[in-house]
C-alpha cells in the first residue's frame, strides 16, 4: 500500500477499496460466503455480512473501524493459495497501516462534511452570541435563543423529486410505519395489529400478513423486525421469504415505539414509550445494556457506527460513550412533534407543531416553512442531502439540507394525515404511510431537463427492476439457439430449417444472408472469444467455422463423433473447441488446425446436451440425458470427481458464473440448481419457477443475474447469491424458448423461440 496520500475523501475511500480488493485477490480471492463462514469459525467475534463486504470492497461508504479491521484480519487468515491459516491478532503489525488509513478517512469525512455545511449556511441561521472584547472568560449558562420569526414559505420550483408508482391497499386501519429491506426488494408496512410485506417491483403483496404492530425495521442482512401486537415490548425477527421466526427479543420496559439497526447487522437499538433506549446483540439475542438515564425521542446509528439519540430537550447524545454531543439548545418539549437525525449524525431536524422544521447543526439553525399543520414524520435521505417532512395536512415536502430550500412540489396523494415516511437504502424509492389505510410507493424522478418523456419512463421502469421489451426480430422460422458476438456487433440464431441468421442487435437488420449450406443443426452455436469465428454444427457431424464478418466458411472440422452434435463451446483463450454429441461423448478440438486434442471424454450414459468451460479454462462441464453433470480437466481429459446428481431427467444446460465460483444447471425437472464446482456440493435449494423443462441458462457479464428459459415460453431472472427471483417473468413468446444470451455489456438479454421471434429485453442492473 502507498504510504503518502493526500486526495479527497472520495478518492481515498476508492483507493482503500482498491487495496482491499487487491488483498482479497492476493489471498486466493475468497467469496463473500467464504469470508462470512471464516469469520464465524474464527471465534474472534468478527461479524461480516455480505452487504457490508460489498460496501467495503466497492468503496460505497466508510465502514466502522472494527469492521474494517475484522475484514482485513479474515483476509489475512488465508494464504496466497486460498488455504486457511491462523487469524492474526487485533494488534498484528500488518493491521497498523489499515487502522491509520481509516482514521485519516474518518477525519477527511468529518472535515468535508463541515466545510460543505458551512458553505451552505443561509441568512436564516441563528448567529452565535457575540462576546464583548473585555468580557470575562468565566463560562455562563447560555440563554435560550429567541425564537426566530416564522419564515415565509418559499415556493418550490419544478416537479417533486419522486413520482408515484403504486398505491398499496390491504390494511383495514391506519398504517403507522413503513420500512424498506436493504436490497429494496421488499417494503414492510404496519398498523396496530398487522404487518404486511410488498414487492416493490410490482406493488403486489409478498406472502401472507403477519400479526404484529408498528414500528417495523429490517436488519442489514434482510431480516424483518416487528413488534408483538399483544406484548409490545417483544420484537420478532422473520426471514421475509419464510414464515418461521427466530427467537424473540423480550425487552425489559414498556412498548417499543421505534427501532434502529446498525449497518453491520450486529446491533439493534429499541426506544420504548418511556424514552429509554435498549441495545441488543442481534447474533446472540442478548440485551447489551440500557445506556443513559434521559428520556429520548429519537435514536439512530450513524455511518461510522455511533449510536446517537435526541432527548426531550432537543439535545443530542452519543450513547456509545454516554455523553452529550455539542451545545445544549433549549427547545420546549411541547413545541416539538417529531425529530430526526441525519445519517452522519451532524444535523438534527425538529418538526414542530406549528408546521415549521428547525434544521440544526451545532448552534446554527435554519427554519423550514411550508406545512400548514403539525409535523407528523421526518426522514433524511441515505446520503443526507434531502429531508422529507410529512404533516397532518396530508402532504409531504422535501428540502435540500445544504441550502434549506424546498425541492420540487409537495406530494399530496393521501386522503388523511401521513404517519410515516421512509427512503430506500439506495435513495431510489420513497414510501408514505397514512391514516387513509394505504401505503404509497414512489420512485426517484428522472431529472434530465429536456429529456423526453419516453426516456424518463424507461428510466423509471428500470429502476423498478422491470425488463423492457424491444420490438422483436421476426425470422419466419422456429429459432433454437442464440449468441451475441463478443463485441456486441451482431447476434446470431440457429433456425429449425437448418440455417443460421445474423442481425444487428440494435437495428434488427441482417448482417449477412441466411446460411444453409452446409446444413446447420440447430443445437450448436458459438462465437470465438475474439469474435473472429462463428462455429456451427453441421448435419454431417462436422463443425463449420465461419468468418463472423462475412459468413464465409473458413474451415470444417470433421469430428469423430458417431452421433449428431448437440452443443459447442470455445475455451476462454480460444485455443480449444468442445463438442457434445448424441453418441454419449464430448471431444476437444484445436479450432486453428481442426485436429483432435486428446481422447474422447466418456462417462455419460446418454447423449451429451450441455457443455461449457469455466472462465479460467481449467474446467469443462458437461451434462446429459442421463441426468448427470460431470467436470473434466481439459488438459488431461480426465473426469475430476463423481457426477453432480440432483436433477430428475435430462440436464439441458450448464453455465459457469463469470468468477467461476458457481456452476448453474438446468433440467427437464423444471428446476435450476447452483453448485460449488470445487467442493461438488449444491448451493441452496433448487430455483423453482418454471412450469416445465428449462432448456437454457446465461449469467450476466457481471455475475449479478442468472437468466433461465424453457419449454413454458418464459424467461426468468434470478439473483444467484440469494436464489431469489428478480423482477417479473419475461413473457411474449408463443412457444418454447431454446436460446438465451446476454449482450457483452449486460444491458440486453436476447431470447430465441420456436415462434420464430428473437426478443430483446433491456435489463435493469441489480
Buried b vs exposed e over 334-362: b needs ≥16 C-beta within 10 Å? eebbbbbbbbbbbbbbbbbeebbbbbbbb
pLDDT at 480 over 90: yes
Which pLDDT value is given to residue 250? Answer: 78
Total domains in the chain come to 3
pLDDT at 757 over 70: yes
Average the pLDDT over 368-391 and give the result.
91
Give, as one character, the DSSP assignment of residue 287.
Answer: E
CA contacts within 13 A on the Cβ side of 244: 2
Q: Do residues 400 and 484 share a domain? A: no
Q: Which residue has the cell 403507522?
A: 176
pLDDT at 611 over 70: yes
Q: Which of 139-153, 511-525, 589-603 has the highest mean pLDDT?
A: 589-603
The answer to whether 524 and 565 have CB atoms below 8 angstroms apart is yes
Quick check: bond before 215 cis, omega within 30?
yes
Q: Do residues 742 and 622 share a domain? A: yes
Q: Is residue 503 part of a domain?
A: no
- Output the 3-class SS for 158-187: CCCCEEEEEEEECCCCCCCEEEECCCCCEE
pLDDT at 715 over 60: yes
Instruction: Output the CA–CA distances (angstroms, integers) from residue 602 to 542, 605, 622, 679, in the order listed.
Output: 19, 9, 11, 22
Which pLDDT value is given to residue 289? Answer: 67
Measured CA to CA, the distance from residue 390 to residue 523 in angstroms comes to 59
Which pLDDT value is given to residue 452? Answer: 67
Contacting residues for 147 by C-beta, under 8 A, at least 6 apart: none
Which pLDDT value is given to residue 291? Answer: 61
Average the pLDDT over 399-413 and give the result.
88
Q: Do residues 396 and 491 share a domain? A: no
- Write the DSSP string, 460-514: HHHHTT--EEPPPEE-SS-EEEEEE-TTSS-EEEEETTS-EEEE-TTT--EEEEE
Average the pLDDT over 317-327 and give the result.
69
Which pLDDT value is given to residue 121? Answer: 35
When mean pLDDT is compared across 9-23, 30-44, 119-133, 679-693, the lowest value belongs to 119-133
Q: Do residues 494 and 615 share a domain? A: yes
Which pLDDT value is given to residue 332? Answer: 61
pLDDT band, residue 314 (cuts 50/70/90): low
Q: Is residue 126 part of a domain?
A: no
The H or E element containing residue 75 is: helix 65-75
Measured CA to CA, the distance from residue 387 to residue 559 in angstroms comes to 68
pLDDT band, residue 635 (cuts 50/70/90): very high
CATH number at residue 178: 2.130.10.10
pLDDT at 308 over 80: no
When mean pLDDT is compared across 66-70, 120-124, 370-374, the lowest value belongs to 120-124
pLDDT band, residue 138 (cuts 50/70/90): very low
The whole-angstrom distance between residue 553's C-alpha and the CA centroid of its chain comes to: 44
Q: Do residues 386 and 255 share a domain? A: yes
- Which residue segment(s) compose the domain that 620 sits in? 478-498+528-533+559-762
Which pLDDT value is given to residue 673? Answer: 96
Average the pLDDT over 340-366 and give the result.
85
pTM for the predicted model, two decimal places: 0.52
Which pLDDT value is given to residue 131? Answer: 34
Which pLDDT value is given to residue 190? Answer: 95
Cell numbers at residue 753, please? 423461440
Q: Tell me which residue of 361, 365, 356 sits closest to 338, measured CA to CA.
A: 356
pLDDT at 319 over 90: no
Q: Which of 77-81, 131-135, 354-358, 565-569 has the highest mean pLDDT?
A: 565-569
Measured CA to CA, the distance from residue 703 to residue 718 in angstroms comes to 11
CATH number at residue 35: 1.10.260
Q: Which of 94, 119, 144 is the last residue of a domain?
A: 119
Q: Which of 162-166, 237-241, 290-294, 564-568 has the highest mean pLDDT?
A: 564-568
pLDDT band, residue 287 (cuts 50/70/90): confident
Q: Do residues 16 and 60 share a domain? A: yes
Which pLDDT value is given to residue 307? Answer: 79
pLDDT at 143 over 60: no
When mean pLDDT is compared across 144-158, 263-277, 320-334, 533-547, the lowest value belongs to 144-158
The whole-angstrom distance between residue 716's C-alpha and the CA centroid of its chain comes to: 18
When mean pLDDT is compared across 44-48, 371-375, 425-429, 553-557, the lowest value belongs to 44-48
Which pLDDT value is given to residue 515? Answer: 65
Instruction: Output the CA–CA distances (angstroms, integers) from residue 689 to 471, 636, 712, 714, 730, in the order listed.
Output: 26, 38, 10, 10, 12
The answer to whether 492 and 536 have CB atoms below 8 angstroms apart is no
Which pLDDT value is given to residue 404? Answer: 86
Q: Is residue 517 part of a domain?
A: no
pLDDT at 209 over 80: yes
* Average model confidence (pLDDT) across the chain: 83
Which pLDDT value is given to residue 654? Answer: 97
When mean pLDDT is compared across 166-180, 257-271, 477-491, 543-557, the lowest value belongs to 257-271
Share of the chain above pLDDT 70, in %: 84
Q: Is residue 572 part of a domain?
A: yes
Q: Do residues 312 and 235 share a domain? A: yes
Phi-psi region of 740 (alpha: psi -120 to 50; beta: other; left: phi over 0): beta
Which pLDDT value is given to residue 748? Answer: 94
The answer to whether 265 and 222 have CB atoms below 8 angstroms apart is no
pLDDT at 298 over 70: yes
Average the pLDDT over 453-477 and give the result.
77
Q: Do residues 268 and 400 share a domain? A: yes
Q: Do residues 105 and 15 share a domain? A: yes
Average the pLDDT over 318-338 and give the result.
68
282 or 321, higher pLDDT: 282
Q: Is residue 539 part of a domain?
A: no
pLDDT at 543 over 50: yes
The answer to whether 270 and 264 have CB atoms below 8 angstroms apart is no
pLDDT at 115 over 60: no
Q: Which residues pair with 535 in a beta bridge?
A: 526, 545
**Model pLDDT for residues 165-194, shown as the tens digit of each residue:** 899 999 999 999 999 998 898 999 999 999
Classify 628 as helix, strand or coil: strand
pLDDT at 454 over 80: no
Average the pLDDT over 677-692 and give the result.
92
109 or 464, higher pLDDT: 109
610 or 92, higher pLDDT: 610
Cell numbers at residue 74, please? 479474515
Cell numbers at residue 577, please? 473447441
Average the pLDDT over 398-404 and give the result.
88
Measured CA to CA, the distance from residue 92 to residue 96 in angstroms comes to 7
Q: Do residues 225 and 374 share a domain? A: yes
**Model pLDDT for residues 644-672, shown as the tens digit of each residue:** 988 999 999 999 999 999 999 999 999 99
Classify 90 as helix, strand or coil: coil
Measured CA to CA, the distance from residue 744 to residue 485 in angstroms comes to 8
Q: Is residue 28 part of a domain?
A: yes
Q: Do residues 341 and 205 share a domain? A: yes
**Model pLDDT for residues 227-252, shown as the tens digit of each residue:** 988 887 788 888 887 766 667 887 66
Q: Which of 56, 84, 119 is the last residue of a domain?
A: 119
Q: Is residue 4 part of a domain?
A: no
Measured CA to CA, the distance from residue 430 to residue 426 in angstroms comes to 10
pLDDT at 220 over 70: yes
Measured CA to CA, the distance from residue 527 to residue 529 in angstroms comes to 6
Q: Which residues pair with 483 in a beta bridge?
A: 492
Q: Do residues 398 and 358 share a domain? A: yes
When mean pLDDT is compared across 356-365, 561-570, 655-664, 665-674, the lowest value belongs to 356-365
Amino acid at each position: 500500500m502507498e504510504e503518502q496520500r493526500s486526495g479527497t475523501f472520495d478518492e481515498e475511500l476508492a483507493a482503500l477499496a482498491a487495496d482491499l480488493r487487491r488483498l482479497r485477490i492476493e489471498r486466493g480471492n475468497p467469496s463473500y460466503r467464504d469470508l462470512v463462514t471464516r469469520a464465524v469459525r474464527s471465534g474472534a467475534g468478527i461479524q461480516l455480512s455480505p452487504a457490508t463486504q460489498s460496501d467495503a470492497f466497492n468503496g460505497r461508504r466508510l465502514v466502522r473501524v472494527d469492521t474494517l479491521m475484522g475484514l482485513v484480519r479474515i483476509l489475512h487468515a488465508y494464504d496466497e493459495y486460498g488455504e486457511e491459516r491462523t487469524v492474526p491478532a487485533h494488534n498484528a503489525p500488518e493491521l497498523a497501516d489499515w487502522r491509520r488509513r481509516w482514521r485519516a478517512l474518518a477525519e477527511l469525512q468529518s472535515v468535508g462534511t463541515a466545510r460543505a455545511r458551512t458553505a451552505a449556511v443561509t441568512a436564516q441561521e441563528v448567529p452565535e452570541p457575540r462576546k464583548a472584547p473585555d468580557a470575562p472568560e468565566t463560562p455562563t449558562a447560555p440563554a435560550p435563543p429567541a425564537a426566530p420569526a416564522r419564515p415565509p414559505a418559499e415556493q418550490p420550483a419544478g416537479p417533486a423529486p419522486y413520482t408515484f408508482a403504486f398505491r398499496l391497499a390491504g390494511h383495514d386501519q391506519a398504517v403507522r410505519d413503513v420500512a424498506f429491506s436493504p436490497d429494496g426488494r421488499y417494503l414492510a408496512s404496519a398498523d396496530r395489529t398487522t404487518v404486511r410485506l410488498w414487492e416493490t417491483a410490482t406493488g403486489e403483496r409478498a406472502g401472507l400478513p403477519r400479526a404484529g404492530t408498528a414500528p417495523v425495521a429490517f436488519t442489514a442482512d434482510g431480516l424483518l423486525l416487528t413488534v408483538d401486537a399483544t406484548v409490545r415490548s417483544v420484537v420478532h425477527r422473520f426471514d421475509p421469504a419464510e414464515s418461521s421466526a427466530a427467537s424473540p427479543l423480550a425487552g425489559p420496559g414498556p412498548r417499543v415505539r421505534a427501532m434502529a439497526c446498525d449497518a453491520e447487522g450486529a446491533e439493534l437499538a429499541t426506544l420504548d414509550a418511556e424514552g429509554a433506549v435498549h441495545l441488543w446483540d442481534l447474533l446472540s439475542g442478548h440485551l447489551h445494556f440500557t445506556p443513559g438515564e434521559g428520556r429520548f425521542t429519537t435514536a439512530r446509528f450513524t455511518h461510522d457506527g455511533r449510536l446517537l439519540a435526541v432527548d426531550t430537550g432537543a439535545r443530542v447524545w452519543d450513547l456509545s460513550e454516554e455523553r452529550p454531543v455539542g451545545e445544549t439548545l433549549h427547545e420546549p418539549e411541547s413545541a416539538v412533534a417529531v425529530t430526526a437525525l441525519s445519517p452522519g449524525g451532524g444535523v438534527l431536524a425538529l418538526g414542530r407543531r406549528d408546521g415549521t422544521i428547525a434544521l440544526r447543526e451545532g448552534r446554527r439553525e435554519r427554519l423550514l416553512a411550508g406545512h400548514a399543520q403539525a409535523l407528523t414524520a421526518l426522514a433524511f435521505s441515505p446520503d443526507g442531502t434531502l429531508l422529507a417532512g410529512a404533516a397532518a395536512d396530508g402532504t409531504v415536502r422535501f428540502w435540500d439540507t445544504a441550502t434549506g430550500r424546498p425541492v420540487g412540489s409537495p406530494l399530496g396523494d393521501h386522503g388523511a394525515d401521513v404517519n410515516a415516511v421512509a427512503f430506500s437504502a439506495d435513495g431510489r424509492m420513497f414510501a408514505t404511510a397514512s391514516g387513509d389505510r394505504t401505503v404509497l410507493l414512489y420512485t426517484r424522478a428522472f431529472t434530465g431537463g429536456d429529456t423526453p418523456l419516453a426516456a424518463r419512463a424507461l428510466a423509471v421502469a428500470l429502476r423498478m427492476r422491470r425488463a423492457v421489451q424491444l420490438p422483436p426480430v421476426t425470422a419466419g422460422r422456429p429459432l433454437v439457439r442464440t449468441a451475441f458476438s463478443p463485441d456486441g456487433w451482431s447476434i446470431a440464431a440457429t433456425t429449425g430449417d437448418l440455417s443460421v441468421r445474423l442481425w444487428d442487435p440494435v437495428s434488427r437488420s441482417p448482417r449477412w444472408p441466411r446460411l444453409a449450406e452446409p446444413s446447420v443443426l440447430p443445437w450448436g452455436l458459438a462465437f470465438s472469444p475474439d469474435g473472429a469465428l462463428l462455429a456451427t454444427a453441421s448435419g454431417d457431424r462436422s463443425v463449420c467455422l465461419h468468418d463472423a464478418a462475412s459468413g464465409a466458411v473458413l474451415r470444417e472440422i470433421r469430428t469423430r463423433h458417431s452421433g449428431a452434435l448437440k452443443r459447442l463451446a470455445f475455451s476462454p483463450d480460444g485455443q480449444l473447441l468442445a463438442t457434445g454429441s448424441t453418441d454419449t461423448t464430448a471431444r476437444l478440438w484445436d479450432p486453428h488446425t481442426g485436429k483432435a486434442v486428446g481422447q474422447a471424454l466418456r462417462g455419460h450414459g446418454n447423449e451429451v446436451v450441455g457443455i461449457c468451460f469455466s472462465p479460467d479454462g481449467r474446467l469443462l462441464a458437461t451434462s446429459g440425458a442421463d441426468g448427470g453433470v460431470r467436470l473434466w480437466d481439459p488438459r488431461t481429459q480426465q473426469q475430476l470427481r463423481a457426477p453432480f446428481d440432483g436433477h430428475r431427467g435430462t440436464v439441458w444446460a450448464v453455465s459457469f458464473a463469470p468468477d467461476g465460483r458457481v456452476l448453474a444447471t438446468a433440467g427437464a425437472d423444471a428446476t435450476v440448481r447452483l453448485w460449488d464446482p470445487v467442493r461438488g456440493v449444491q448451493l441452496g435449494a433448487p430455483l423453482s419457477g418454471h412450469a416445465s423443462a428449462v432448456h437454457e441458462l446465461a449469467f450476466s457479464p457481471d455475475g449479478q443475474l442468472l437468466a433461465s428459459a424453457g419449454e413454458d415460453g418464459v424467461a426468468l431472472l434470478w439473483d444467484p447469491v440469494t436464489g431469489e427471483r428478480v423482477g417479473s417473468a419475461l413473457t411474449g413468446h408463443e412457444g418454447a424458448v431454446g436460446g438465451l444470451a446476454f449482450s457483452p455489456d449486460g444491458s440486453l438479454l436476447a431470447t430465441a423461440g420456436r415462434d420464430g421471434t428473437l426478443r430483446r429485453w433491456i435489463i435493469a442492473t441489480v
